Chain A
């Protein structure tokens, strides 16, 4: 399904925060995990992930660190910060309330 880009924009940050809160991940891995969990429903242009990551990093919600991977290659891993955990909690609650409210209207039988 093709999603409206504006609709996606609002959920990118919580999704990234959620993933890097599970474990430290590098960019390509994040794309792969999203694809895997959404079964390819989100067709992101991979390059657009990095501005999001850098924005979150600049805001102090995540922290990037270079590490050598098991195959000896350097990768930049991101992990959630304490500030990021709080933001994720807040954004998740917001999303739950928002989607529930929207669902009340959108999914309710016509009167």
Chain B
């Protein structure tokens, strides 16, 4: 070990008052050393021996005690400030970064995916009384009454009792009464209980045909039995036909009396649309994709127990009419054989979802098939012809709708192609069956909101990656402190505020700005296609953003630490060979290219002959992830190679680099979340609000805006067709 020189002794003593700030002490020592060495060189040039020159230079500095006191006093304030900053950088920044990431974390995108996977009925999560629900994305509190209307009384043991509790609280409210009836029909397995309850409730809404039809349906179950048999049609194909066998004629008559009574009533109402409207109003206007999907999903879970019974009721009515005619009671028979016109008119006023409309169409279809045949069998060709014409008019709207779905819909219709290419994932799930196709412009808000939700998810992943990076640097710092320590302890360097600001501006803000510019405002629209097609482009741009941010931040911070270590006269390892730097940045450059391309390019490449045998999605995802991993691998290999070659000599440099990078990455994590999260939330809110296709239409009651439009149109057409001529 080399002996301490005069200079070393002077420097150690002169800076002894700065020992609590090791970086500052090394900085001042380096400054004084440079002064002494320069003086020494001049003295040597004037003919002194090196030893005498050193002594002369040290003597010229004056009394070491005076210098030490002066330096300690001059730097006291600075040291105090730096101690606070170091404390914050060492112990506060990393936890603060984690806290900011956790506070701003938005699991909405993940939840949206979960809800989308269960679109057939989303159970509204329980919302604590007076509390807010993050699950539905609802950020406002609910009153106990709102909570009751939304969930029912959850303290009750059964769903029926829970829903009945709403009506119990507001007994004159018909919406809540029929909500209870709906739940009863859906959930009560015992028909006798249903019949008894319905009989009891009927006087509360005497003008509503719903109770009569329910009672009729329940009696028909006991009165007749359907027996299915297979028959060969004229085309040779086997089809199933149903024979109805009477079990109890008295009950059949009673059931049909109920049906007839229902037909005579002024209205048929289930109040399902009104109940949904009330519940959606409580949930509030959706401001996020999750809320939008949750509301669609909630609507998709609407109970529709009546609709399934309507077709059977019509079939039995026709059977009864035929029976009466065969018994010679033609006048009475005519009432039942033509009941479908009045029946359809009545229930059509209450339909509010497409399923309802399709059932109405099925009733009209059944009438169109059976009634003319029955009249022909009775020998009344005029009545048969009239019935054929009327039923055809009645069935036409739904028939035409089905033809439209067939023509424009999957698998090759052009309109379907538009939805699959330009529509969001949720639009792809819900719209093709509607046969009513929106324009590419109408599809844009829903598509873009999915991109934004995916970015929200990616931001969460980015936060996790940055957190893992912080942990990695902690391990590296510990490694150079305990496992492979150097002669000088590792330092937590405190760069100037302006240097940190520049580093974060270049490493975080500029890449973020670049990302938003490229993804939002490129004139050739990298987001013109739905996530199903543009997912690869999104992945490429997100990976590029991640690597550019990490690359610039680590490179700039590394440069800063290298320069500072050189100033402090700590041994510094040479930077990796240029080849590796160029290789890593080239890979990032290649990864960035797809993010700049028009969205259609990926589809175009996907249609290349050699791509036909490959899965486009897996190919591009695999390619981009492989590029990213290769870039990471180059960085890791360079790091390990440097450690093997220079680790022992430059431990202080490597350790200081790792220690200094921890607060830098923490700051980057805070900045990314603070800058991006509010912007993404704002954008998602704006897009969801401007989405007219996928939003739930409170007034019309459809699952989505487009379905509401369709239902309203079909309802109007059926209403027109069913009007007595």
Q: What is the interface of chain A, defined by CB distance below 8 A to chain B?
A: 26-28, 45-48, 50-52, 54-55, 58, 66, 73-76
**Nearest-CB residue, chain A, relative to B76:** A58
A28, B34: Cβ atoms under 8 Å? Answer: yes
Give me 26 A-to-B residue pairs in the complex whose CB atoms sit less than 8 angstroms apart, sorted by A's number.
A26-B34, A27-B31, A27-B34, A27-B35, A45-B67, A46-B61, A47-B14, A47-B62, A47-B66, A47-B67, A47-B70, A50-B28, A50-B35, A50-B67, A50-B70, A50-B74, A51-B70, A51-B74, A52-B70, A54-B28, A54-B74, A55-B73, A66-B563, A73-B34, A73-B37, A74-B30
A28-B39 in contact (CB<8A): yes
How many residues on B have C-beta within 8 angstroms of the other chain's C-beta atoms?
Answer: 29
Cα A74 to Cα B14 with chains together (Å)? 20
Complex CA–CA separation, A51 to B65 (angstroms): 12
Cα separation A94 to B38 with both chains bound (whole Å): 35
**How far, in whole Å, are A74 and B62 apart by their CA atoms in the complex?**
23
Interface residue B78 (Cβ < 8 Å from any Cβ of A): yes
With beta carbons under 8 angstroms apart, the residue of A45, A48, A54 that contacts B75 is A54
User: In the complex, what's the smallest C-beta–C-beta distance from A13 to chain B, in angstroms?
Assistant: 12
In the assembled complex, B60 has its CB within 8 A of some CB on chain A: yes
Contacts of B638 in A (CB 8 A): none
Find out whether the CB atom of B71 lies under 8 angstroms from the CB atom of A46: no
Cα-based distance from A47 to B30 in the complex (angstroms):
13
Pairwise interchain contact B569-A55, C-beta atoms closer than 8 A: no
Is there an interface contact between A46 and B60, defined as CB atoms closer than 8 Å?
yes
At the interface, yes or no: B63 with Cβ under 8 Å from chain A? yes
> Smallest distance from the beta carbon of B56 to chain A beta carbons, Å?
11
The answer to whether A45 touches B71, judged by C-beta atoms less than 8 angstroms apart, is no
* Partner pick for B32 among A50, A66, A73, A74, CB 8 A cutoff: A50
B228 within 8 A of A: no
Q: Is B645 an interface residue (CB 8 A)?
A: no
- Is B567 an interface residue when CB atoms closer than 8 A count as contact? yes
Closest-CB distance, A37 to chain B (whole angstroms): 18
A47 close to B567 (CB less than 8 A): no
Q: Which of A26, A27, A58, A66 contacts B74 (CB 8 A)?
A: A58
Is the Cβ of B566 less than 8 Å from the Cβ of A47? no
CB distance from B155 to the nearest CB of A (A): 67
Known A47-B32, A76-B34: A58·B70 in contact at CB below 8 Å: no
Total residue contacts A-B, CB cutoff 8 A: 74
A51 pairs with B567, CB closer than 8 A: no
Kindly list chain B residues whose C-beta atoms are within 8 Å of the C-beta of A46. 35, 39, 60-62
CA distance A32 to B27 in the complex (A): 22
In the complex, which residues of chain B have a beta carbon less than 8 angstroms from the beta carbon of A26?
34-35
Which single residue of chain A is at the shortest CB-CB distance from B566? A74
State whether A55 touches B74 (Cβ < 8 A): yes
B77 CB-CB contact with A under 8 Å: yes
In Å, the complex CA distance between A26 and B37 comes to 13
Q: How far is the CB of B631 from chain A (nearest CB, A)?
A: 32
List of B residues within 8 angstroms of A55 by Cβ: 73-74
Please name all residues of chain A whose beta carbon is closer than 8 Å to the beta carbon of B60 when the two chains form the complex. 45-46
Q: Are the CB atoms of A48 and B66 closer together than 8 Å?
A: yes
Q: How far is the CA of A46 from the CA of B40 in the complex (A)?
A: 13
B97 to chain A, nearest CB (A): 30
A45 touches B66 (CB 8 A): yes
Output the residue of B35, B75, B567 with the most chain A CB within 10 A.
B35
Q: A27-B31, A47-B32 are in contact. List 4 more A-B contacts (CB 8 A).
A: A45-B62, A50-B35, A51-B71, A55-B73
Interface flags for B10-43 (1: CB within 8 Å of A; 0: not) read: 0000100000000000011011101101110000
A-B pairs with the 5 shortest C-beta distances? A45-B62, A51-B70, A47-B61, A47-B67, A54-B74
| Contact across chains for B67 and A51 when beta carbons are under 8 A apart | yes
A52 to B567 CA separation, bound complex (whole angstroms): 21
Q: How far is the CB of B561 from chain A (nearest CB, A)?
A: 14
**When chains A and B are docked, how far (Å) is the Cα of A50 from the Cα of B30?**
12
Q: Which residues of A contact B64 (CB under 8 A)?
A: 47
**Complex CA–CA separation, A19 to B580 (angstroms):** 46
Which chain B residues lie closer than 8 Å to A27 at the CB level? 31, 34-35
Known: A58-B78, A74-B569. A51 touches B73 (CB 8 A): yes
A47 to B14, CA, bound (A): 9
Residue contact B35 to A28, C-beta cutoff 8 Å: yes
